[in-house]
Amino acid sequence: MIWQDFKYAIRLLSKKPGFTALTTLVMATGIGLSVYMFTFFHTILFKDLDFKDGASLVMISGSVNGKQDGYRINALDYAEIMRSVKGLKEYGGYNNANVVVSATEGAIRFPAVLAQANIFQLTRTEPILGRSFRSEDEKIGSEKVVVIGFELWQSQFSGGNDVLKQSMRINGEKYNVVGVMPEGYMFPRNAQIWLPLQIDPRLLTRENSTVLRGLAHLEDGVSMAEVNRELSVVMKRIENQHPQTNTGVGAHVTSIPGVGGADGAPVIYTMHTVAVLILLLASINVGNLLLSRALERGKETAIRVALGAPRSRLISQMLWESTIICTLGGMIGFLVMAWGLEVTEPIVATFYADPLAFWWDFGIDSYSVTLFLIILISTIFVTGLLPAWRSTGGDFNAVLRDGTRGAQGKKAGRLNRALVISEIFISMTVLIASAVMVQSAYEQTNRDMGANTENTLVASVLLPEANYDSDAKKAQFTKTLQSRLENSGAIETAMLATSLPGHYSSISKVIIEGKEYGKDSNNSYPSANDIAIMPGSLAKLGVELRQGRYFNNSDDGLEKSTALVSESFAKRHFPQQDAIGQRFRLAKTTKDTLQWVTIVGVVEHTIQGNRDGDAASMPSIYRPLTQTPGKQLTIAMQLSAKANLAVQHLRKVLQGIDSELASYRIETYQASNDRITAPVVFISSLTAIFALAGVVLAASGIYGVMANTISQRTQEIGIKRALGADEERITKEFVFAGVKLLLWGGIPGILAGGFMGFAMAQMFGTSYSALIFMVITMVSIVVATVLVATYLPTKNALRLEPSQALHYE
Amino acid sequence: MSNTLIKLENIQKIFFTDEVETHALSDITLTIDKGEYVSISGPSGCGKSTLLSLLGLLDASTEGLYQLAEHDVSNISKRERARIRNMEIGFIFQSFNLISDLDVEENIELPLTYRKDLNKAQRKTMVDNALAKVNMSHRAKHFPSQLSGGQQQRIAVARAIAGNPSIILADEPTGNLDSKNAEAVMELLDLLHAEGATICMVTHDPRSAQRAARNIDILDGQVISDKPLSKENKSNTIVAA
Ligand SMILES: Nc1ncnc2c1ncn2[C@@H]1O[C@H](COP(=O)(O)OP(=O)(O)OP(=O)(O)O)[C@@H](O)[C@H]1O
Ligand SMILES: [Mg+2]
């Protein structure tokens, strides 16, 4: 019997290939897009790591005033957490670092992990050669050891078994190789060099302690939420004991992938909501198309019921139709989605200068398959049960008697209205949320970050600590490097800084002389981007001087203390006074930063790092590299010859100064800036695709339902015209009904979309006028769609003479 | 003032479908006076319904002159046609054509709501009067699907007469009814005629046709006979029924 129903459904579908293709396509779009979106975020943020006990592995991070932006934890707080929090076990701390390795092919920079001894035990993994770390390795002054990854072993030691007798030069010092990890092993980041984390006990003061990232396993049966409650109690206690350093400082656990998601929550929720709504939209549309087909066959169904067909048979037959359509569409969607995931990885890789997180392996996994099956079954029911319930639940006797004419019946009318209202609601929500996202991305990519990027190459260089252990040596290196670079035909000007305009920089707390700050907490000091830059570089980069002077030769000297500040800094801290001549110092207590620094000039605002919201408006201070040398430098080179000549020259100069110097991340200045906005552009393009799909689905859906409703009411229109209603009256009646639906669906839609849009606009610092403009534009689009969707079919129905409309079937 | 209500001269109606021309009506000329009760009969497909549609301004003729109450209505605007249908014409259809979303009262009130000269209270009185006339006051709040076919047709008659039209057009009003219900509806029409209404009715049923005072026979879109029916004939039929 079921087989019979199946064959019958196939016959019905193949009789109307256009209808079948359309519904299949709609379903493919809905299922494909939503599975993609869910899998994408799952891969990035929610996946359990593929280690034994990976599900209970958590990361402990800090927060300041509720903001979780990847803050590390003070080692003293961490020690307190280890003593007090009962829900965690196997604590291990680590830090990320970049190291310079003197390799066979010259100095190379590698990402590395400085880890406590149990780092490998946390993942239940043993080295394939040698040993893992021991607690002795953590003591300062112990033998310098390194554990390396399989791939590094292959490339640097040719996979030789004598590797354990060998050593590596790392940051200018000799490290003995004591272990090799298995192939593909990376933890907790995409790095293949593990060094012991050594904490200097002299640095364990609250004011200036080492910071680290915590790792641990959850105790059996304990949830992250429970641990977070424990953590907040502990952190509160520390805050009470040490208000000066710890006011507003918190700690929390997340999964390791989840670390990145904390502050992006509005975007992540929005994207997921949009995905679910698109799926719903697709299902509603297909359900409605199936329904109108079922209604076309209403008479046939009524006859079958009259002949004694049980209701279950009728439902089974209709469910088959939706099963076939959803499965076919779902499989197409799934294939396209799988392809989409494959191409995602290379795209995402362009967002980051470093290798991607090791668990970011985009592709079909058990999660996506499970999700696909769940979604498939739900869509079958949503699309199938709607028409089945409607067309078999009706009073078949009334259908057969055909007693009244014209109108479509109360139930069908109510259902159609509900359909249109939900389509309006969904499209409004999706459109507004997506528009705000796209607008934010547009604003971010077009924000002026303060410098010219034309015809400029950038490269980074990391000074090995051992060779450059004093400020004097670093300062000397900086000067030598700049003069040698500029002494060539290939490079017109060279600029050096710890961070160029547009790039991420470190952020410091500053204390303005003569200002009162909340005495109880260090977190009440204002923050600023803290940049050291070579005198002359700001002017060459096109960062304009607003007041005072740029740095010059008079600023040279480690004992001097002058600074430039950004216009935003001057406005924020000296709104009434002249900033020139004012003094500030960094809120650190080490001796060398205690001195007051005098402001000698004000330059235009530069954006350092993220282009959104708070980050974009963060003011900056600039110190001369000749006063505060750094060990990680970025070089910008304006070219007078071909780029590859300049790169060759750069390599030669570095080698000439020190064979252990590594330059890395060589690219155009523009590219390095684009990378910072690339994730936002990617996410907003994704959203734009969703929005586009949403608009097409919703518009066609609304039109479909409206056209259907109105055509079902052609006879009614005929009757009304026979009774003397003129065309204007009929048109008004339908448009008015459309407007009513618009209000019912649109107002909640505006609220929901506006809410999500507002959350994102706040996060990205999108201007509210743009937000309002977007809302109005999107609302107009939906309003226009609904009006067209009512007006055209009405006009169509009115084209018939009343006498014809009366006989319309 | 003349007594002529309807005047048709050389009316033609041609339907153009898929390059096929159907001459539904060819050269119809006739007049109907105020207060007449006319039945139109003829074989299926001869053009009866088409003629009634033209009379009711539900459709326009291809050729010819149509004067309604001495006004030429062959070439008036759609809006004006709608107004005339609303004020001057009452329709009764074979398949009742009530609107199922509206209850009985609302169905009857519907054409009245299209008029600007009536307020809510006036409409209410007119609806009540019409309902009383068809003897259906007790069903005012029912929906059409809750009524029998005969009852539905009585509501349709009430709707047709509620606005006091100058002419009632009925297309096989008893075609979907059994003889008892048909009889009730025919008696209603008799009553309306007695009260002075002009009635134009298409019917297959010779017994119903006999109730009219004048019978027009149509064949292939042309009038083949147009004669008054004698009083005796009429009374005979009533006796026979
Ligand atoms: N809208 C139309 N398009 C094309 N041809 C039509 C249309 N309406 C009617 N006709 C044709 O015009 C002719 C007259 O139709 P009409 O409905 O007036 O017949 P009738 O006399 O009412 O028949 P019956 O007694 O069966 O109701 C028929 O041949 C019909 O096929
Ligand atoms: Mg007919």
Q: Average pLDDT, stretch B197-217?
A: 90
Q: B208 CA distance to ligand 1 centroid (A)?
A: 21
CA pseudo-torsion sign A243, A246, A248, A252: negative
In sequence order, which residues have a C-beta less than 8 Å from that of residue A570 and are 6 or more positions away?
A546, A547, A579, A599, A602
- Per the CB < 8 A criterion, the answer to whether A713 and A742 are in contact is no
**pLDDT tens digits, residue range A55-69?**
899 999 988 887 776
pLDDT(A405) > 50: no
What's the burial of A8, exposed, middle or buried (CB within 10 Å: 0-12/13-18/19+)?
middle
Given A387, A403, A419, the domain boundary residue is A403
Q: Is A22 left (phi over 0), alpha (psi -120 to 50) or beta?
A: alpha
Q: How far apart are CA B55 and CA B53, in angstroms?
A: 5
Confidence of residue A306 (pLDDT cuts 50, 70, 90): low
In sequence order, which residues have a C-beta less than 8 Å from that of residue B162 and are 6 or more positions away?
B90, B108, B109, B111, B112, B126, B127, B129, B130
State whether A109 and A41 are in the same domain. Answer: no
Residue holding tokens 């707080």?
A: A77
Q: Is the peptide bond before A624 cis (omega within 30 degrees of 0)?
A: no
Instruction: Kindly report the number of other CB atoms within 10 A of residue A233's CB atom.
Output: 11
State whether A283 and A239 are in the same domain. Answer: no
Q: What percent of chain A has pLDDT over 90?
A: 38
**pLDDT tens digits, residue range A425-443?**
988 988 888 888 888 888 8
Instruction: Kindly report the number of other CB atoms within 10 A of residue A221's CB atom.
Output: 8
What's the burial of A46, exposed, middle or buried (CB within 10 Å: 0-12/13-18/19+)?
middle
**pLDDT tens digits, residue range A751-765?**
998 888 888 888 777
Q: Residue B217 corresponds to which tokens in the numbers above?
A: 């026979």
Q: How far apart are CA A391 and CA A791, in angstroms?
A: 28
Q: How far apart are CA A666 and CA A689, in angstroms?
A: 33
What pLDDT is stored for residue B224 in this prediction?
Answer: 93
Residue A247 domain-assigned (yes or no): yes
Q: Which of B50, B203, B217 to mutate to test the pocket of ligand 1 (most atoms within 8 A of CB)?
A: B50
Q: A802 CA distance to ligand 1 centroid (A)?
A: 14
Strands (E), B93-221: 167-171, 198-202, 214-219
| CB-ligand 1 contact for A804 (6 Å cutoff) | yes
| CB-ligand 1 contact for B22 (6 Å cutoff) | yes
Q: Residue A223 corresponds to which tokens in the numbers above?
A: 């949830």
What's the burial of A189, exposed, middle or buried (CB within 10 Å: 0-12/13-18/19+)?
middle
| CB-ligand 1 contact for B94 (6 Å cutoff) | no
Q: Mind telling me how many Å the CA of A710 is from chain B's nearest CA?
A: 14
Of A307 and A134, the structure prediction assigns the larger pLDDT to A134
pLDDT(A404) > 70: no
- Per the CB < 8 A criterion, the answer to whether A673 and A502 are in contact is yes
Q: So what's the ipTM on this one?
A: 0.87
pLDDT(B237) > 50: no
Binary contact (A724, B86; C-beta < 8 A) = yes
Q: A808 CA distance to ligand 2 centroid (A)?
A: 14
State whether A766 and A618 are in the same domain. Answer: no
pLDDT(A44) > 70: yes
Residue nearest to atom 26 of ligand 1 (CA): B44
Q: Average pLDDT, stretch A778-797?
A: 91
Helix or strand run (H / E) with residue A668: strand A662-668
What pLDDT is stored for residue A462 in this prediction?
Answer: 86
Q: Average pLDDT, stretch A505-521?
A: 81
Domain span at A737: 405-448+676-809
Confidence of residue A538 (pLDDT cuts 50, 70, 90): very high
* Rg, chain A, Cα only: 33
Is A55 an 8 Å CB contact of chain B?
Answer: no
Residue A365 domain-assigned (yes or no): yes
Q: What percent of chain B has pLDDT over 70?
A: 95
CA of B42, nearest ligand number: 1
Helix intervals (H) in A713-764: 714-722, 727-764
pLDDT(B233) > 60: no
What pLDDT is stored for residue B241 in this prediction?
Answer: 32
| CB-ligand 1 contact for B46 (6 Å cutoff) | yes
pLDDT(A387) > 80: no
Q: B30 CA distance to ligand 1 centroid (A)?
A: 20
pLDDT(A273) > 80: yes
What pLDDT is stored for residue A590 in this prediction?
Answer: 55
What pLDDT is stored for residue A567 in this prediction?
Answer: 94
| CB-ligand 1 contact for B20 (6 Å cutoff) | no
Residue A693 domain-assigned (yes or no): yes
Of the listed ranges A11-15, A295-299, B58-62, the least confidently predicted one is: A295-299
Of A674 and A356, the structure prediction assigns the larger pLDDT to A674
Q: How far apart are CA A279 and CA A367, in angstroms?
A: 18
Is A405 an 8 Å CB contact of chain B?
Answer: yes
Confidence of residue B214 (pLDDT cuts 50, 70, 90): very high
Contacts of B104 in chain A (CB under 8 A): none
Residue A264 domain-assigned (yes or no): no
State whether A368 and A480 are in the same domain. Answer: no
Is A801 an 8 Å CB contact of chain B?
Answer: yes
Residue A179 domain-assigned (yes or no): yes
Residue A106 domain-assigned (yes or no): yes
DSSP A365: -
Residue holding tokens 């409607």?
A: A390
Of A262 and A121, the structure prediction assigns the larger pLDDT to A121
Q: B22 CA distance to ligand 2 centroid (A)?
A: 15
Q: How far apart are CA A113 and CA A95, in angstroms?
A: 6
Q: A809 CA distance to ligand 1 centroid (A)?
A: 15
Using CA coordinates, name the residue in chain A closest to B56.
A722
Q: Average pLDDT, stretch A318-347?
A: 91
Ligand 1: which atom is nearest the Cα of residue B202? Answer: 22
- Per the CB < 8 A criterion, the answer to whether A391 and A322 are in contact is no
Confidence of residue A658 (pLDDT cuts 50, 70, 90): confident
Q: Which of B99, B102, B104, B176 to mutate to test the interface with A (most CBs of A within 10 A)?
A: B99
State whether A410 and A504 are in the same domain. Answer: no
What pLDDT is stored for residue A411 in this prediction?
Answer: 65
Is A542 an 8 Å CB contact of chain B?
Answer: no
- Per the CB < 8 A criterion, the answer to whether A152 and A193 are in contact is yes
Q: How far apart are CA A77 and CA A211, in angstroms?
A: 9
Q: How far apart are CA A445 and CA B186, in angstroms?
A: 80
State whether A714 and A785 are in the same domain. Answer: yes
| CB-ligand 1 contact for B75 (6 Å cutoff) | no
Of the listed ranges A149-153, A358-362, A597-601, A724-728, the least confidently predicted one is: A358-362
Contacts of B85 in chain A (CB under 8 A): 721-724
Confidence of residue A410 (pLDDT cuts 50, 70, 90): low
Confidence of residue A392 (pLDDT cuts 50, 70, 90): low
Helix or strand run (H / E) with residue A480: helix A471-486
State whether A473 and A598 are in the same domain. Answer: yes
DSSP-assigned beta bridge partners for residue B83:
none
Facing residue for A722 by CB, picked from B60, B91, B95: B91
Which CATH number, 3.20.20.150, 3.90.440.10, 1.20.140.10, 3.40.50.300, labels domain B35-54+78-240? 3.40.50.300
State whether A73 and A2 are in the same domain. Answer: no
Facing residue for A407 by CB, picked from B56, B58, B99: B99
- Per the CB < 8 A criterion, the answer to whether A376 and A286 are in contact is no
State whether A75 and A64 are in the same domain. Answer: yes
Residue nearest to atom 20 of ligand 1 (CA): B45
What pLDDT is stored for residue A697 in this prediction?
Answer: 87
Q: How far apart are CA A240 and CA A247, in angstroms?
A: 8
Q: How far apart are CA A198 and CA A176, in angstroms?
A: 16
Q: Which of A399, A719, A728 to mutate to test the interface with B (most CBs of B within 10 A)?
A: A719
pLDDT(B239) > 60: no
Q: Average pLDDT, stretch A399-409?
A: 44
**pLDDT tens digits, residue range A711-768?**
878 888 999 999 999 999 999 999 999 999 999 999 999 999 888 888 888 877 788 8
State whether A354 and A432 are in the same domain. Answer: no
Q: Where exactly are the structural domains of chain B?
A: 35-54+78-240
Confidence of residue B23 (pLDDT cuts 50, 70, 90): very high
Given A620, A635, A660, the domain boundary residue is A660
Residue A459 domain-assigned (yes or no): no
Domain count, chain A: 4
State whether A396 and A409 are in the same domain. Answer: no
State whether A160 and A226 are in the same domain. Answer: yes
Confidence of residue B36 (pLDDT cuts 50, 70, 90): very high
CA of B47, nearest ligand number: 1
Residue A717 domain-assigned (yes or no): yes
| CB-ligand 1 contact for B48 (6 Å cutoff) | yes
Q: Mind telling me how many Å the CA of B112 is from chain A's nearest CA?
A: 9
